[in-house]
Amino acid sequence: MKTSHIILLVIIAVAIGVIISTTGDASQYVSFKEAYQMSKDGDDDKVHVVGKLKKAPDGTIVGMFYNPIINPNRFEFILVDNNKEEHPVIYQNAKPQDFDKSEQVVIVGNVKGNVFVADEILMKCPSKYEEKEVKASL
């Protein structure tokens, strides 16, 4: 067997190993109901939950708490998933910038006890995606 064949086989084996290791870390999109059921069943896999912040009728955000003087690495809020189920979420990090302006939130983490503990927060801010009106003058 030629040296080039051996090197090619080693590269292919490494590529397969990388693919297998990354798919093992992939998490799935679920509702809060499914995430809490997975926790009851003893499944501690990370999941994605999509939702919106809980808001009062006047549009103000309800249930959001962040006090960097007390603990700069604890941010709490209430998220309402796509099935209209709301649950408290704890994020063990600083409050993301422009979080209260976000249109939709994706949290990545798992249920611990009776709260969802997020390891990561992904936000969709409406200002980024709004189409700007362009006026042309002749």
* Domains of the chain with bracketed CATH: 27-129 (2.40.50.140)
| Interval 66-95: pLDDT, tens | 999 999 999 999 999 999 999 999 999 999
Beta carbons of 48 and 27 less than 8 angstroms apart: yes
| Mean local confidence (pLDDT), 13-38 | 77
Please report the pLDDT score of residue 20 as a whole number.
73
Residue 12: count other Cβ atoms within 10 Å of its Cβ: 10
Contacts of 123 (CB under 8 A, 6+ apart): 96, 98, 99, 102, 104, 105, 106
Calpha distance 122→48 (Å, rounded): 10
Give the torsion sign (CA, 40, 31, 22, 74). negative
Calpha distance 46→14 (Å, rounded): 26
Query: How many residues does the structure list for the chain?
Result: 138
Tokens representing 101 are: 């302006």
Q: To 5 degrees, how large is the angle CA 67–CA 56–CA 54? A: 65
DSSP state of 37: H
Residue 20: count other Cβ atoms within 10 Å of its Cβ: 9
Please report the pLDDT score of residue 70 as a whole number.
93
The per-residue pLDDT of the chain, averaged, comes to 83
